[in-house]
Amino acid sequence: MILLVDSGNTRVKWRLADLSGCVLEQATTLTAADPFHALRPYAESIERILVSTVGSEHSRLQLEATLRLLTPVAVQFYWAEVARDGLYNSYRDVTKMGADRWHAMLAGWNEHRQSFAVVDAGSAVTVDYVSDEGQHLGGYILPGLQMMRRSLRLDAARIGFEFDEQIDATPGRSTGECANHGLAWLTEGVIARLHADVGRLGLSRTLLTGGDADRFLALGLNADIRPGLVLSGLARIDAMEQQG
């Protein structure tokens, strides 16, 4: 069995897979006491561990130590690359690209082999465009919902309001509405620009992943939802490396 791990800024997602496909998949917060508790019955069957992470070096080392408590199997970290499987990175210095973006693009490319946009709606929102030739055309990094909420809470503390999960972009009539609706309004603006880019670049589809994916769909993003897209990218790497 292989264990695939996507460690973000606030959450860790993992998938246990064998030759038949996914055996078990979960997501939890990085601060959870035992994020891999559900894997303990399978620990002796794990043969390989592949990790994609955007966390700090301290976070990476902590993750590795936690995995070593589960199994002695070596933990392999994978990062953004110049090219793989016909997908080509646009970055001059690929070490500056978050591993999750590259692995999400790799999964999308492996699935479709034609142009696409990929949106990862996590702590940060990332948007990347890939051509029919597998060339990364560039992308965007934006603050995610929780990051924007945290900014308002810390930097505008005197305003005083509660966040809610309503998805409404109409003009607010109270401070709480103005803030909450304003966040939805911003997301609608991002979606409009993204739709325009997809049309202008002639991209065939948009893939959506991440913890806030449902919010983007509810606010009008025309996309195919792909949970665990980063994990699927890691799975493609594993398959290629096993083939030699």
Average pLDDT, the chain: 94
Which pTM was predicted? 0.95
Residue 157 is predicted with a pLDDT of 67
pLDDT at 182 over 90: yes
Average pLDDT of the segment spanning 123-147:
97
Catalytic residue at 155? no
pLDDT tens, position by position, 72-117: 999 999 999 999 999 999 999 999 999 999 999 999 999 999 999 9
Residue 117 is predicted with a pLDDT of 98
In terms of Cβ atoms closer than 10 Å to its own Cβ (0-12, 13-18, 19+), residue 85 is middle
Structural domains of the chain ordered from first start = 2-77 (3.30.420.40), 114-227 (3.30.420.40)
Report the alpha-carbon angle 40-41-45, nearest 5. 95
Choose, from 6, 100, 120, 212, the residue flagged as catalytic: 100
